[in-house]
Structure 1
């Protein structure tokens, strides 16, 4: 035997109203149609579902149990409708996103916290990786989007890249660093300083090497290589080491005064930074809402750095 879920919902309404006519009005149907529906249910059950000749309509024990199940079906339908409506309005869902370690720890985490204020039902699945890994995660549909350095001529045509901003870089040091007391920092000062470099697979490593070479610094002394974003930041905050980073990705630390951008006569390279998505993927309303939030946040951060 198989029950039609719609019939169970209708039967529950009859029991709740205690009347075929009132139930028909509530359901937008007719009393004869409900009477026929009850006959179908009783035929399938092989038992009476209503106590005969009683007013209001009274269920048998089996009828009461089926009415309870009908209420459960109706609740599930209402929940499905609410969920669908929330998804359509961009209020609920899972956002799978990837980004480099620094961006995740110091920018993305703040963006997610702010986004939750207006979208408390949103869930996040966050992964980290270097540029090649970000591209692989998107191409393999393991994430829906990634934030990172973009390469317009990348050979994988499954990927789409949207420029959000150019990440300008700076020489970063701790507050109170001896070089901050100098009127002007020279290339010689930078050459003699101790540096913390990035993991060789990181775009930051390539950018730092190009920046140092551009300043005429071919070999840095006492270099410490660090692949952990947290460890690198702690070393910068507690030692006199220098490093090259985009101030935007450590903005909370810049704002707090824990880290400072060192002024010196020279220009460091910027890298195009943006959104990476799969060419055939269609972002959900929630993902589009988060993307707009992230884009606005990045531009606001960049404006703060430029103004500072």
Structure 2
């Protein structure tokens, strides 16, 4: 025997609200239509749902049992509708996000934490990688979005890129480093110090080589290479070693680890930090919400960095 689940929901409402009229009003239906539905249900099961001649309505034992099932069905339908609304509005979902290690740990991680503090039911599955690996993962559906620095003129045809922060690198060291006490720094000043080199397969490793060539340093000593941002920060904090880092990473690290950017122009890479997507894949509401949030946060960060630069120039 197949019973219409909507009829069970109506039965539950009638019993919960104390009558046909009250149950109909609670569900936004007419009293005659509800009466017809109950008559059809009784006809279907061949047994009465209410004790005859009782006012107010009193369910039979079977009617009360079916009403309990109807209440569960109604609750499940309400929960399902609520869940659909959460996904439709971007309040829930799963996002697979990959990105360049330094930027993910030094810039984006705090933004992710802030986003999830407001959207706790959005699961973010994060991974690390560089341009080639991340692009391939976007193509094969392994990622929904990548966060990485890219040259605007080299974006693949099958990708969309939202540029956020312009590329800007600095020579970084610990706060209180002997070089921070100098207003003007020359090649001779930095020659005694060793260098922390980023991973060899990272764009920043190439930036380090170009930066040192720009200032005329052909032969430099590396005391530490590779490692995560955390390990690089630890080496910086415990030594006088120098390194090249994105300005945004140094700017945001100042709260947790005092670092300084030396006043030495090393040029800027022709790249932007931004968000990369595969053109042929539709973005979920949660992803759209996350993208909007990240772009706003990165724009605020850019404004803060530029303000800090102007203040530093005025003081100089």
TM superposition score normalised by structure 1: 0.88
Q: 1:63 to 1:148 in 2, by over 3 A?
A: same
- How far off its partner does 1:46 sit? 4.6
Note if 1:233 corresponds to 2:217: no
Q: Equivalent residue for 1:205?
A: 205
Q: Equivalent residue for 1:109?
A: 109
Distance 2:150 2:265 in 1: 28
Residue pair 2:151, 2:270 contacting (<8 A) in 1 also: no
Distance 1:67 1:234 in 2: 65
Q: Equivalent residue for 2:247?
A: 247
Note if 1:141 corresponds to 2:141: yes
Q: Equivalent residue for 1:77?
A: 77
- How far off its partner does 1:229 sit? 1.7
1:176-230 alpha-carbon deviations (Å, 9 max, x no partner): 1122223422123334320010111111112212222222223311442123221
Alignment of 1:55-74 (within 5 A): 55-74=55-74
Distance 1:219 1:184 in 2: 22
Q: Equivalent residue for 1:131?
A: 131
Distance 1:60 1:77 in 2: 25
Distance 2:135 2:76 in 1: 39
Note if 1:174 corresponds to 2:180: no
Q: 1:262 to 1:79 in 2, by over 3 A?
A: same
- Stretches of structure 1 that go unaligned for 5 or more consecutive residues are none
- How far off its partner does 1:148 sit? 0.4
Q: 1:272 to 1:95 in 2, by over 3 A?
A: same
Q: When the two structures are aligned, how many residues end up with a matched partner?
A: 308
- Stretches of structure 2 that go unaligned for 5 or more consecutive residues are 310-316
Note if 1:90 corresponds to 2:73: no
Q: Equivalent residue for 1:159?
A: 159
Distance 1:71 1:222 in 2: 70
Distance 2:256 2:32 in 1: 73
CA RMSD of aligned residues (A): 2.5
- How far off its partner does 1:121 sit? 4.0
Q: Equivalent residue for 2:313?
A: none
Question: 3-state SS of the aligned residue for 1:58?
Answer: coil
Distance 1:77 1:49 in 2: 23
